[in-house]
Amino acid sequence: MRGPHNIWRLVRTGATFARTGALGVVLEAMEAPPLVRVAVRVVSWPFAFLGHKGDPERPPLTRALTALGPAYIKFGQTMSTRPDVVGEDLARELAYLQDKLPPFPTEIARQTIEAELEIEVDAVFSEFSPPIAAASIAQVHRARIAATGEEVAVKVLRPRIERAFRTDLDAFHFAAAILEAMLPMSRRLRPSDVVQHFEDTVMGELDLRLESASASEFAENTKDDAGFVVPAVNWGLTSKRVMTLGWGEGIPANEVGRVREAGLDCEALGNRVLHLFLSHALRDGFFHGDMHQGNLKFALNGDIVALDFGIMGRIDEYTRRVYAEILFGFIRRDYRRVAEVHFEAGYVPADQDVDEFARALRAVGEPIFGMDATQISMGRLLHYLFEVTEWFGMQTRTELILLQRTMVVVEGVARSLNPHINIWQVARPVVETYISDSIGPKAVLTDLAKTARVLARFGPRLPGLAEAALIRQAHPPQDERRARPYRAMGYVALGGGIALAGVWLVSIL
């Protein structure tokens, strides 16, 4: 329930940050003025005893986030990929959250598997290891299927994880509502919608059948992508709380030292991670939505092995074209066109000035165009972008939240492998290929063919709709408002017939 009882949850959040020392770390990362740091510590100190103690052996921030629960851990995982935003030391500290959290007992995992799959673990698996990785929602065991000898990864949800997430999400919803009520200017950022989007995304992770379906679809989409591997799903050993995948052998992406020692080309790997993500997002409209280092491995032959498909993103074709045009405009430094695309898509209110918006975008693009990652401060850039959205009254686009968040994460992964990466240079071939396939004359014919297929399905109904509309036009009802739907149907039928005829002419020419 999203009532006032969540105030206690939020108080304990702040108190936990104070008690663990994480509050000071955050204030330092934010470069808060010394007076502000002192004031915040003085105010929070009397309430620190109300916070969770956490694991005193962990650094302050990871200690606080792990004590607060899975939703907070998710946020920490995202920040762990952004050393340019939070600093190298803090990013290394947060990397612990990716796959090294305390596991739950193997015996509980075995009991879950036996209850879910109605099997005996020792009868089905000839080998079943202790946990090899533990994250916020589940942990993974390495196993071998007795009947085939196949090595697999068995993922098992944490006990009572659903309830833990609900507790956190309820508090987030309550905080968003309070924020909107007390700070009307925050409404354009749509905090409630953002939290709802986060909930919809994360709750899908709590049903491993859905994650398995995502992995299967992702594997089909990317089967022709050279050097990219998605382990196969074993559906016979998969259920709501258990998922079994083929084993993906490789070096974890967060162990960059080992990757270099193995003789792999880190620069090429960093470029390819970003290249593949853009390809999946633009070409397929279906992309890995949690592509941090803990969910990637590098095989000794250079293959990129993807793991953990609980959060996947999907964007429709129109949005993909808008996104590609915006990227392409930045790559060509055509800021006027970038501004026009924002207005055409409705991302910027129509009463704003397109030229002024283009000038603001130039201030974003020019300082980073042609520069490598070491010369760009993403913290300052993100701060300026936030100011631009405020100046021009832009609302948060919830349909793009996951794409934007994942883009930030993937860029962070690429930076960790290739600190000098030039994102524009890497992105250019992917975006140009998509533009040529999706916005030129070829795309027009493709769109017309899709329209024809849709109209063909409704073809048998068009004559009846047209006849009914014409009869209503000749004998309109007394109430003019009742006539409007019939007139609209007539227009739809007539327009559909004309469009169908046009497509037919195009096809035969």
What is the pTM assigned to this prediction? 0.71
Confidence of residue 187 (pLDDT cuts 50, 70, 90): low
pLDDT for 378 beyond 60: no
Give the torsion through C-alpha atoms of 13, 75, 142, 158, to 10 deg: 40
Give the span between the Cα atoms of 250 and 297, in whole angstroms.
Answer: 5
Quick one: which of 100, 375, 384 has its CA closest to 255? 100
pLDDT for 490: 45
Higher per-residue pLDDT: 38 or 113: 113
- Model confidence pLDDT, tens digit, residues 451-500: 777 767 776 777 777 778 778 777 766 554 554 554 444 444 444 443 43
> For 370, which DSSP code?
T
Burial of 1 (0-12, 13-18, 19+ CB in 10 A): exposed
| Contact between 246 and 235 (Cβ < 8 Å) | no
Sign, CA torsion 182/188/192/198: negative
pLDDT for 188: 60
The conformational region for residue 250 under phi > 0 = left, psi -120 to 50 = alpha, else beta, is: left
Q: Range with the lowest mean pLDDT among 110-114, 358-362, 408-412? A: 408-412
pLDDT for 69: 79
pLDDT for 420 beyond 90: no
- Model confidence pLDDT, tens digit, residues 6-29: 777 778 888 888 888 888 877 776
Three-class DSSP category at 346: coil
Catalytic residue IDs: 290
pLDDT, the chain, mean: 81
pLDDT for 509: 36
The whole-number average pLDDT for the span 159-178 is 82
- Model confidence pLDDT, tens digit, residues 244-280: 999 999 999 989 999 999 999 999 999 999 999 999 9
